[in-house]
Chain A
Amino acid sequence: MKLPRRSFLKVGAGGMAILATAGCGQMPRELRQLLALVNPPGGPFQAPITEAIDPIIHALNRAGFGARPGDYQRVRKLAKTPEAAAAAYLEQQLHPENIQDEDADYAARRFETLQEPLGELFEYQPDLLHNELMRATVSRAVLSERQLFEVMVQFWSDHFNIDPSKGDCKWLKVVDDREVIRKHALGKFADLLRASALSPAMLWYLDGRVNRRANPADRPNENYARELLELHTLGVHGGYTQKDVMEVARCLTGWTVRSVGNKPYFQIGKVEFDPAQHDFGSKIILGQTVPSTSPALAKDILEQRGRHELDRVLQIVVAHPATARHLSAKLCRHFIADNPPAGAVAKVAEAFSKSEGDISQTLRALFQTDEFLLTRGNKFKRPFTFVASALRASGAITDCGMDIVDYLKRMGHAPFNYPTPEGYPDQATPWMGTLLWRWNFAVALSQNSIKGTRTDLASLRGAAGGDEPLMAHLLGRKPSPEEARAFVDSGDGLALMLASPGFQFC
């Protein structure tokens, strides 16, 4: 849908009043559709007034992609103290199924190819799928009310990174995103891991599909087995040996995917297990024995036993204490600090083990640590978070088009563009060289030179109630005198604030 900017803004201002009072559910359908392209700036809103980042802004920053106009006020009303309000917000975010998300859903519907079943995906050009995946991801981060869910989608997309430019991943990553990452992002880690292990995209990306033993001379392909231990579960110092890698690879022989070259077409991407390609000898994994199976047994029993070895392997690695520590350290790095504090890592690892890998319960424990609650404003935003938070904070109307994605590419952080299995780095240093493009983006956003994206500084300032509260909204705290002066001197206060050191942290 295309509308001139002016009418957009008119509807924006009027529509927002309705939004504030009535909520999305009671709006006429047409207005809702219109708003699906809108990141609501809302009517007058209240900005934080403290010198340092308060618990509410902290929760919005870490368990999401930053505050939109009005978010602070909305969360503040959840409880009597800011601390309790932040806790209540985090608790809400741990139950995404109870959060209405119509705007984001409407916006996501534009990306029709992403809803296609596996068999239909192969009809599309890989570039189209890749572009829609990237745009949909940005769109959800900017618009979704289920902010923590989107943060975890990004976390797991890095953790189980797949570069769609490899082989059939061009098509299959769409299914992986939908059926593996998004399906289990706040579920049970064991389910997520199993879905990933049997994801056709993962079988392609880490060569599981060619890990076979048809005759005794065949050596297994260790690629997936190694990354399963090193990246997905135990971690590089998790106490496994090269022998464990080889034994895991042997357990996983025989799994494969129908590739694009194979017929019939409707079975492309289908994951299969072939007992004839499986190594039925006995194995020892991390000290636990997987017994051998006689190849003389009936075929259906062989198939059942062979398939079961995958589950046995996953069971062993998920239950290993190193897995709890590894995942806990990564979560604490993401949510607390680049160098995760040991105390928090231990508590979160314990919660992971106690809950048998329940991701929500693990996160709840993390959000309750003192380290999380008190370490604020210290995480350097990765470029994706910078862009998403700038779009949110400025109340931009955006179609999350390729212009936005191109900025992310320039900063080296477009979703689904990381070549190797470890995923994008989650620390500050590798991203320090991206300032030029952040500034460039801030200026382009403020001056409305990004195609498909509009901001309106005047109405934003009006809704905030002046320059000071606007700055406080953008920074999540009161501006320093230097920041306030630069805001005026720069000639473009919005661009300056978004480009300033303060906005680079969350």
Chain B
Amino acid sequence: MPAIEHFIHGDGDRKQALVVIFLRGGADGLNMVAPLEDDGYYRARPRIAITKAKALALDGFYGLNPLLSHLQTPYNDGVLGIIHAAGSEDDSRSHFEAQDLMEHGGVVGGGWLGRFLRAQTAGTTGPLSAVALGKEVPECLRGAPAATVFASLDDFSLGANHARLMSSLARLYQAQPDDLGAAGHSTLDAVRRIESLRTASYRPSQGADYGNDEFSRGLLQIARLIKSRVGLEAASIDLNGWDSHFGQSTVMDPLMTRLGQGLGAFYRDMGREMDSTTVVVMTEFGRRVAENSAFGTDHGRGSVMFVMGGGIKGGRVFGQWPGLTRDVLEGPGDLPVVTNYRNILAAILQRHGSENIIDNVFPDFELHPLNLYA
């Protein structure tokens, strides 16, 4: 008979959690991580570029937007890696099509994360193995063996008669001789853990300071679930509204502040738990290199991705910088995609799963997983 833990945590409780943050709307990578030493950047963005004086030092070539200052600590700790000129092969520059392709991982059934969880758990899966913060399960989790839209811990309660019902169920499942008895036992255990979470107040560790916005609160809930060992394997959360055609700074500044503060607090709160957790930040496409007349930028191609977690060869910016000369730019003047997002995700999934399933997660694509890990 499988271990009791098996049914709460899925196969063997890997105790590894993957957190996917999707920045919807096409987030401008050049405004988050700027190529300070490429003059082309300043020529293309005379009014909206980040000046060398204001940028936070990363590696001498790139600088971080000061609004993302909270990312400096994990970066300097070597836990955060940045991949520039990353993205997908979709060149439609359509939000819908680019998100669709990115979340499905090609023209293929199900989402990449859903297929991963399905392939990973050939046996059984815990009820809380995958949660989505927000209103609906995102396409990337489509086809997952269990995907729950998580609004509040109250969702997991068994109603007004909770205690009586629990003890009656405990008696009946205890008498059940087969695998179902064990499954019932471990489910009761999961309900108890959730119940103690629900009734206890949560104080983030190390004085981590989450913001009061929805994104930060969502990350706090994710940290809480991971730490309480209810079998979370994947969580998804969106931060929306990056479509900065008009007034780049008005659109992006508050979002970057939220992203930075949220991730910074999560990192602090998680502490050692970060060793077995990976956070990946992605967006459907980057933006035109040249600013437009409205102090904004239009739909482009390559952007940045952030990966934070255990084992990352962090504190560096991955991916070859293609330059911003006319012969390099794609289409109407866009940063080309040097690193396909699948190669980043594949490296992460190899750490979170087994080596041989990534080809099933990303079919019809020749994978060259990025060398993200030490």
Residues of A within 8 A of B (CB): 162-163, 165-167, 169, 205, 380, 406, 409-412, 417-420, 428-437, 439-440, 443-444, 447, 449, 482-483, 486, 489-492, 495-496, 499-502, 504
Whether A435 lies near B146 (C-beta < 8 A) is no
Evaluate contact between B147 and A412: CB separation under 8 angstroms: yes
Q: Which residue from A380, A406, A489, A501 sits with its C-beta under 8 Å from B167?
A: A489
Tell me whether A434 and B179 are in contact (CB under 8 A): no
Asked whether any CB of chain A lies closer than 8 Å to the CB of B340, the reply is: no
Contacts A410-B147, A432-B124, A433-B126 given; does A166 touch B167 at CB 8 Å = no
- Tell me the complex Cα distance, A499–B161, Å: 13
Contact, CB under 8 Å: A167 / B107 = yes
In residues 4-32 of chain B, which contact A (Cβ within 8 Å)? 7-8, 10
| A486 with B168, Cβ < 8 A, contacts A412-B147, A433-B146 known | yes
Q: Is B159 an interface residue (CB 8 A)?
A: yes
Separation in Å of the A348 CB from the closest CB of chain B?
26
Residues of B within 8 A of A444 (CB): 159
**Contacting residues, chain B, for A163 (C-beta < 8 A):** 109-110, 142-143
The digit string for B175-196, where 1 denotes a CB below 8 A from any CB of A, is 1100111011001001100000
Contact in complex: B124, A430 (CB < 8 Å): yes
- Chain B residue nearest to A496 (CB atoms) is B168
Partner of B159, one of A406, A420, A443: A443
Contact A433 B183 (CB under 8 A): yes
A385 CB, min distance to chain B CBs, angstroms: 15
Kindly list chain A residues whose C-beta atoms are within 8 Å of the C-beta of B146. 410-412, 433-434, 437
Q: How far is the CB of B137 from chain A (nearest CB, A)?
A: 6
A420 & B145 in contact (Cβ 8 Å cutoff): no
Question: Can you name 15 A-B residue pairings with CB atoms under 8 Å?
Answer: A162-B109, A165-B110, A205-B109, A409-B147, A411-B146, A419-B115, A428-B179, A429-B179, A430-B145, A433-B127, A434-B146, A436-B128, A486-B169, A492-B164, A502-B172
Of A410, A418, A492, A500, which one neighbours B172 at CB under 8 angstroms?
Answer: A500
What's the nearest-Cβ distance from chain A to residue B370, in Å?
24
Given contact pairs A482-B175, A483-B172, A486-B172, A492 touches B187 in the complex (Cβ within 8 A) = no
Which residue of chain B has the shortest Cβ distance to A492 in the bound complex?
B161
Q: Which residues of B have CB within 8 Å of A490?
A: 161, 164-165, 168-169
Asked if B143 contacts A432 (CB within 8 A), the reply is no
**A166: B residues at CB distance < 8 A:** 104, 107-109
Q: Return chain A residues, CB-CB under 8 Å to B175.
A: 482, 501
Instruction: Report if A489-B159 is in contact (Cβ < 8 Å); known contacts: A165-B109, A406-B149, A436-B187.
Output: no
Tell whether, in the assembled complex, residue B164 and residue A491 are in contact, meaning their CB atoms are under 8 Å apart.
Answer: yes
What chain B residues lie within 8 Å of A406 (beta carbons)? 149
Q: Is B160 an interface residue when CB atoms closer than 8 A count as contact? A: yes
Of all chain A residues, the one with the shortest Cβ separation from B146 is A412
The closest CB in chain A to the CB of B137 belongs to A409
A504 and B180 contacting across the interface, CB-CB below 8 Å: yes
Q: Report how far A430 CA is from B129 CA in the complex, Å.
A: 13
A420 CA to B109 CA in the complex, in Å? 7
Contact partners of A429 in chain B: CB under 8 A: 123-124, 179
CB closest residue in chain B, given A167: B107
Judge whether B328 is part of the interface by a CB distance below 8 angstroms: no
Distance A2 CA – B127 CA, assembled complex (angstroms):
34
The 8 Å CB contact of B171, one of A410, A482, A491, A504, is A482
Given contacts A432-B179, A490-B161, contact A165 B125 (CB under 8 A): no
How far, in angstroms, from A443 to B187 measured CA to CA in the complex?
A: 15
Which residues of chain B come closer than 8 Å to A419, judged between CB atoms? 108-111, 114-115, 118, 142-143
Q: Which residue of B lies closest to A428 (CB)?
A: B179
**In the complex, what's the smallest C-beta–C-beta distance from A491 to chain B, in angstroms?**
4
> Across the two chains, which residue of chain B brings its CB closest to A162?
B109
- The one of A440, A483, A486 that contacts B158, using a Cβ cutoff of 8 Å: A440
Query: How far is the CB of A299 from the nearest CB of chain B, in Å?
Result: 32
CB of B183 within 8 A of CB of A432, answer yes
Which chain B residue shows the least CB distance to A500? B172
Interface string of B125-160 (1 = CB under 8 A from A): 111110000000101001111111100000110111
Q: B171: which A residues are within 8 A, CB to CB?
A: 482, 486
Q: Which residues of A contact B75 (CB under 8 A)?
A: none
A429 to B122, CA, bound (A): 9
> Smallest Cβ distance from A493 to chain B, in angstroms?
9
CA distance in complex: A410, B131 (Å): 9
Bound state CA distance, A236 and B172, in angstroms? 40
The answer to whether the Cβ of B173 comes within 8 Å of any Cβ in the partner chain is yes
Which of B108, B144, B164, B183 has the most chain A CB within a 10 Å cutoff? B183
Contact A432 B142 (CB under 8 A): no
Query: When the two chains form their complex, are residues A430 and B123 in contact, meaning their CB atoms are under 8 A apart?
Result: yes
Give Cα A410 to B146, complex, Å: 5
User: How many Å lie between the Cα of A430 and that of B122 in the bound state?
Assistant: 7
- Say whether, besides A429-B123, A496-B165, A380 and B108 are in contact (CB < 8 Å): no
List residues of chain B with CB within 8 A of the CB of A430: 121-125, 145
Given known contacts A432-B124, A433-B124, A492 and B165 CB-to-CB distance under 8 angstroms: yes
